[in-house]
Structure 1
């Protein structure tokens, strides 16, 4: 009995956990994260190689693979996040949405696997003289890509918010380090064992991902329990009484009325997109230099393995020095790597050297910044604020990706310029991080930081 009384108890809202309970919670969340991460780390490469085989330009590629998904994020993620934050139901405020959005992802993945087969059938049915195999395949691909994107956008918004609700605040940094490690392991496994087969076995890769994703996400829905939440803030945004446009006004006023949160979001957007040019075209860059997909996959797997090993030490540094400080240091290093890479890369050897340096640096940045939003956004409105961030990330990608595609088309696909284009974006991100740091100190710093709420901010302005 004495041992039971002394047992450590962890709390997340109304949820209480023993150490055993925390371990089980982490196991189920990370199991779902493994399925989610494997899909996230695999689909872009496999789908990108597939759609490029249909003979499209770099510009069309960026519109389909980057801009269109991000365009849907602009509208869908804020809506579901806003509704989820304010939803109260028997199963919680996150899991009901997760259960409804997962099937779209599963159907989209399996459908992409059958795209070449369906494209051939559609072309033969209509007539190859009226609809070529490439165009028919592109249409089929587009249909299932839309389904996958719809489900992915909605699921991603809810999955991160669920973890933020059920994991105790004292453990969120360590959980996110594990979360990040699982994602890196997924990337390592895909690049080591699947990327070399992406062009020849895409059907089985997509089907397997769909089945595995379904099992992983529904395991979370069945095994992870949400607590009781306080009634939503009475801002007049009741679903039954408030018009859509009035809700939109509340959303934008709460998320963007404070300069502090505008800088928080801008910093993350620009830093994240500093790697967009390279990430979008790295496979085609490697192929242009004569690097096989099998070799490229093994190099990338080695990078991810190194990143996994680094992640635990980096997580400790992030907790000790705060994500803003570690983000400033790692983003500064990334800019140096990008500029030097642009000046130096001329062949496969120099490409591999700087690709490895670049990827290790950005992965270090991502790990060091993993708890950035959890540490800075208000917990009560986390999903809403996070959706605002995702919306701005999407808008930026919609605008940046086609511009990069046009520039590369104009440069005759000279992909070395992706490094300097990324550096130009990263400079803005680094400047924004310095601004965020000044606000962070203003709102209490390491010892007394409290995420300011929009209502409190408005009240202070009125009092002044």
Structure 2
């Protein structure tokens, strides 16, 4: 019964983790609109600034955790610490009354989540048997998507600003309770002693073999960011209110719930590389079509749902890619290097996209063109990985 109990505990942690992931950024965007509608500021705070933090903090914490040996394990002490700081950041946002205070609290929140997210995934990688990782992450996504669907269906309304403080406080409490349960009840396996330290280096001899993999993962990740970051701000251009936006996102998550387990099975059966390449190809085609066809409210909502479903399939189908290919003894450090490559591209693309939108008079149809072009580049990289690894 150990494996089912472990999975239940990790999925409870996923509940709190997903509630934070699916809701806090959207609440922050809505709250930020009360202070500024500048597209560059939004893309810096949501895209560039977190990327910069990930670039500097992620590999250091990853290498530290890989080498840590405590009575509680090598992941759980870090998971607990980042959960506490994340909750502090959310609390700061609740009581922020100025743009500066909101931005500082958001920075603290993002700093902790950027460090904490790969730690939680590394805990899963260390405790869940590798041959069922794809299906476990399918369940992981189902919990995540159901949480997001519930949030958007129940709470994302036109009067969201009025309930911002109590809603964020409730989210912070649930998140901290779930992560505390994981930290108290999950037991990590015994680890071999770390190899002798001969001077810490971010990149070691032989790591260049992973460069193409990290580049492909990064391009695939940033392909979906233009709409993820700017979707709420685009609503005004297409005559969409907050309630309609929330219902569309909830429907997206409901569809993705039905697809999560089959996509996880496909990843286990045919490999995450194949699933990622196919999904990115479909995303490229659909975003090009959206760029040509979307002009009003209905088209925008349909394109939003298509974007969300395909982005969800990509994430579900490829979340087990790095655990499948990277050596387990250095997993978190190498995964952090991969995240740093992604962060560098996000940093450049987010600032550039914000400037492009402001220069184009905030014509948000450009989001589809940028997403299609980035996904098209990703398809070429993923096809190269198929030839290399499979």
- Aligning the two structures, in what range does the TM-score lie when normalised by the shorter sequence? over 0.9
- Aligned counterpart, 2:203: 252
The question of whether the paired residues in 1 share the 8 Å contact of 2:239 and 2:296 is answered with: no
* TM alignment of 1:160-179, pairs within 5 A: 160-179=121-140
Q: CA deviation at 1:56?
A: 4.3
Partner of 2:114: 153
| Change in 2 beyond 3 A, CA 1:434/1:235 | farther
User: Residue 203 of structure 2 aligns to a residue in which SS?
Assistant: helix
- Give the corresponding residue for 1:79: 60
Distance (Å, rounded) in 2 between the aligned partners of 1:414 and 1:39: 30
CA–CA distance in structure 2, aligned partners of residues 399 and 205 of structure 1: 33
Matched with 2:160 is 198
SS of 1:199's equivalent? helix
Structure 2: stretches of 5+ with no match in the other structure: none
Residue matched to 1:373: 322
TM-score, normalised to structure 2's length? Answer: 0.96
Moved over 3 A (4+): none
Q: Find the counterpart in structure 1 of residue 20 from structure 2.
A: 39
Does 1 or 2 have the higher relative contact order (CA < 8 Å, sep 6+)? 2
Is the contact between residue 191 and residue 297 of structure 1 (CA under 8 Å) also seen in structure 2?
A: yes
**C-alpha displacement of 1:306:** 0.8
Q: Distance in 1 between matches of 2:160 and 2:50?
A: 21
How far is the alpha carbon of 1:394 from its aligned partner?
A: 1.4
Shift of 1:254: 5.1
Take 1:254 and 1:22, find their aligned partners in 2: how far apart are those partners?
36
Mapping of residues 16-415 of structure 1, within 5 Å: 20-115=1-96, 119=97, 137-196=98-157, 197-236=159-198, 242=199, 247=200, 250-253=201-204, 256-258=207-209, 261-415=210-364
Give 1 or 2 for the bigger CA radius of gyration.
1
- How far 1:92 sits from its partner (Å)? 0.9
Output the CA distance in 2 between the equivalents of 1:383 and 1:268: 15
Q: Cα deviation per residue 1:384-438 (whole Å; 9 max; x = unaligned)?
A: 1111111112111111111101111111111011011111111221111111112
State the TM-score, normalized to the length of structure 1.
0.81
The 1-side partners of 2:115 and 2:206 are apart by 19
Alpha-carbon distance in 1 for matches of 2:30, 2:384: 40
Determine which of 365, 369, 372 is the counterpart of 1:420.
Answer: 369
CA–CA distance in structure 2, aligned partners of residues 340 and 62 of structure 1: 24
- Aligned equivalents of 2:25 and 2:182: distance in 1? 24
Structure 1 gaps, min length 5? 1-19, 120-136, 237-241, 442-464
Query: Residues 303 and 185 from structure 1, CA distance in 2 versus in 1: closer, same or farther, beyond 3 angstroms?
Result: same
2-side partners of 1:56 and 1:415: how far apart? Answer: 13
Q: How many residues align?
A: 389
SS of aligned partner of 2:246: helix
Out of 298-307 and 347-356, give the one that drifted further.
Answer: 347-356
Q: 1:275/1:195 Cα in 2 relative to 1: closer, same or farther (>3 Å)?
A: same
How far is 1:231 from its partner?
Answer: 1.1
